[in-house]
């Protein structure tokens, strides 16, 4: 089902019950706040109480190459799971990056180019964000450098090939290029936090370079709002209603993109919002088993501490095929909405996620990324027996909308393990999680603006 490409992004910031807690300066660093190489338009998009932001013409032209993205009622998937209610799929895998990540990559490349930056440097887990950034840089005439989680790059070498085809320089993380990698080399080949930390350090020490991030920042979630805005129009064209919206969560950009426009629409009209369900990996269960505390966003700890649901930035997350979800914390915007009860969360193990992905493949002929399989598994539960969120069981009564955030054509090794019965889960032990967050400062109910390190 087609729909017009939105001319604006829609922000949820005017509809928060309480302001997000401010970022804090880590003790003893003397650093924090906005980095000088972050374009001011991205800063404004992160803090201003403005609901609609015009999409620049150059970005809109690039969007028109692959947007609007498809939405359909997944009747084959419904039959396979025995659904009680309709399930609608919004598919973001049809662009060169294979995921929703291109929506913000194009916007960021535009703003950084206007700010005079020559090279963008980033870290990536599964490689979708790295590919998106490489494509956006190629389109806008910027150099690109990507640090990719070592275990993911070894498992999916063609992600690296595609990035290099687009002109990017690709490094396996931990690399030999940064001090942070030298300090954290042992046992960190699965760490997205380290890959991001390497990118932060490299950008800070090279003239004309800037670090960019694809998922956790408020402005990147804003850029993803095109997903939910399109979906709302497409559902209306079908005469369809849903009372549950689902997306997988690494830090939160595709979930925010599909879900938060529905929240903003409901708040603006004084109506109840649909149930918003964040599906996370059981190997990195920040929203279901983490704490709401101030934590680092990367392994360097050089930036401000952010209020997030976290399992600890130094927690050694087990290797899993949910690479894009293998991040220790949720975005501060997503975390704030979780804290106020505006969204629910459920954890999904990788066997269940990949099994759900296989069902979509066989019954809808769409191969989803393993990350998206987590959202599909949660959607299947909502449409049948219900899915847990703590002591509550969540169910849909009218319909479920699920974001399939990317394709799985470079993840066939994961599906091969599913077919061979070789998939396992390694969920964190309670004691390990407790140890990883024991030194973090909890977010208090009210934090005054400009406050320092909580005491």
- 204-235, pLDDT tens digit by residue? 999 999 999 988 899 999 999 999 999 999 99
Secondary structure of residue 179 in the 3-state scheme: helix
**Count of CA atoms in the C-beta half-sphere (13 A) of 296:** 23
| Residue 153 structure tokens | 């790059």
For residue 452, which of 146, 147, 24 has the smallest C-alpha distance? 24
Contact 42, 213 (CB under 8 A): no
Query: Quick check: 143 pLDDT over 90?
Result: yes
Kindly state the tokens that stand for 347: 């954890």
- Would you mind telling me the total number of residues written for the chain in this entry? 455
Identify the band that residue 446 occupies on the pLDDT scale cut at 50, 70 and 90.
very low
State the burial class of residue 252 (Cβ atoms within 10 Å of its Cβ: 0-12, 13-18, 19+). buried
Radius of gyration of the CA atoms of the chain, in A: 20
**5, 62, 100, 223, 354 from 55: Cα distances, Å:** 10, 11, 16, 9, 35
The span from the CA of 193 to the CA of 28, in Å, is 21
Give the lowest-confidence range in 1-5, 226-230, 314-318, 417-421: 1-5
What's the token pair of residue 388? 């847990």
- In the predicted structure, residue 34 carries a pLDDT above the cut 70: no
Residue 135, phi then psi, degrees to nearest 5: -65, -45
Question: Is pLDDT at 33 greater than 50 in this prediction?
Answer: no
394-421 mean pLDDT: 95
pTM across the whole model: 0.93
Average pLDDT rounded to a whole number, residues 9-14? 98
The number of beta carbons lying within 10 Å of the beta carbon of residue 435 is 13
Under 8 Å CB-to-CB from 422, ≥6 apart: which residues?
none
Q: How far apart are CA 254 and CA 102, in angstroms?
A: 11
CA atoms within 13 A on the CB side of 106: 25
Q: What is the residue-averaged pLDDT of the chain?
A: 91
CA gap 155, 415 in Å, rounded: 12
Which pLDDT band holds residue 22 (cuts at 50, 70, 90)? very high
- pLDDT band with cut points at 50, 70 and 90 for residue 35: very low
Note the pLDDT of residue 447. 44
Tens of pLDDT, residue by residue over 317-328, are 877 766 678 889
Question: pLDDT band at residue 189, thresholds of 50, 70 and 90?
Answer: low
* Per-residue pLDDT at 451: 36
Are residues 374 and 273 in contact, defined by beta-carbon separation less than 8 angstroms? no
Element of type H or E holding 347: strand 344-348
pLDDT over threshold 70, residue 348 = yes
Q: What number of CA atoms fall less than 13 Å from residue 298's CA on the CB side?
A: 25
Q: CA 112, CA 110: separation in Å to the nearest integer?
A: 6
**Rounded CA separation 249/255 (Å):** 6
Residues 121, 202: Cα–Cα separation, whole Å: 8
Domains for the chain: give ranges and CATH numbers: 59-97+225-434 (3.40.50.1100)
Q: Using an 8 Å Cβ cutoff, are 256 and 273 in contact? A: no
Mean pLDDT, residues 126-133: 93
- Model confidence at 444: pLDDT above 90: no
Strand, helix or coil at 116? Answer: coil
What confidence score (pLDDT) does residue 453 get?
29
- Summarised one tens digit per residue, pLDDT across range 91-116 is 999 999 999 999 999 999 999 999 99
Cβ atoms of 357 and 367 within 8 Å: the answer is: yes
- Condensed to tens digits (0 to 9), the pLDDT of residues 272-321 reads 999 999 999 999 999 999 999 999 987 667 678 999 999 998 888 877 76
Q: How many CA atoms lie within 13 A of 358 on its CB side?
A: 14
């Amino acid at each position: 089902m087609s729909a017009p490409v939105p001319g604006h992004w829609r922000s949820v910031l005017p509809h928060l019950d309480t302001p997000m807690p401010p970022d804090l300066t880590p003790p003893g660093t003397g650093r924090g706040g906005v980095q000088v190489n972050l374009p001011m338009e991205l800063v404004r998009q992160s803090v201003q109480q403005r609901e609609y932001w015009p999409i620049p013409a150059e970005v809109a032209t690039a969007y028109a190459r692959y947007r609007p993205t498809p939405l359909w009622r997944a009747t084959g998937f419904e039959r396979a799971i025995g659904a009680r209610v309709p399930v609608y799929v919004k598919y973001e895998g049809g662009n060169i990056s294979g995921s929703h990540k291109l929506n913000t990559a194009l916007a960021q490349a535009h703003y950084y180019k206007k700010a005079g930056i020559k090279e963008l440097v980033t870290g990536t887990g599964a490689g979708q964000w790295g590919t998106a950034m490489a494509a956006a840089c190629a389109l806008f005439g910027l150099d690109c450098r990507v640090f990719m989680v070592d275990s993911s790059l070894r498992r999916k070498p063609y992600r690296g090939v595609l990035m290099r085809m687009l002109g990017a320089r690709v490094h396996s993380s931990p690399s030999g290029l940064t001090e942070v990698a030298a300090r954290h080399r042992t046992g960190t080949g699965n760490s997205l936090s380290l890959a991001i930390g390497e990118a932060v350090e490299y950008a800070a020490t090279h003239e004309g370079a800037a670090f960019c991030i694809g998922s956790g920042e408020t402005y990147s979630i804003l850029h993803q709002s095109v997903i939910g805005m399109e979906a709302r129009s497409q559902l209306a064209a079908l005469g369809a209603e849903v009372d549950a919206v689902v997306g997988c969560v690494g830090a939160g950009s595709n979930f925010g993109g599909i879900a938060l426009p529905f929240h903003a629409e409901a708040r603006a009209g004084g109506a109840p919002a649909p149930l918003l369900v964040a599906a996370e990996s059981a190997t990195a269960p920040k929203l279901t088993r983490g704490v709401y505390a101030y934590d680092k966003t990367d392994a360097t700890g050089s930036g401000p501490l952010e209020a997030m649901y976290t399992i600890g930035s130094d927690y050694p997350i087990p290797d899993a095929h949910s690479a894009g979800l293998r991040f220790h914390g949720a975005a501060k915007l997503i975390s704030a909405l979780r804290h106020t009860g505006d969204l629910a969360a459920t954890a999904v193990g990788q066997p269940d996620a990949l099994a759900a992905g296989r069902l979509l493949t066989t019954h809808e002929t769409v191969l989803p990324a393993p990350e998206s399989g987590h959202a599909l598994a949660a959607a299947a539960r909502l449409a049948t027996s219900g899915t847990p969120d703590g002591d509550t069981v969540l169910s849909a009564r009218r319909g479920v909308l699920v974001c399939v955030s990317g394709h799985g054509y470079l993840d066939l090794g994961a599906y091969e393990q599913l077919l061979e019965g070789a998939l396992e889960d390694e969920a964190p032990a309670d004691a390990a999680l407790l140890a990883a967050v024991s030194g973090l400062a909890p977010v208090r109910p009210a934090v005054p603006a400009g406050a320092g390190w909580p005491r």
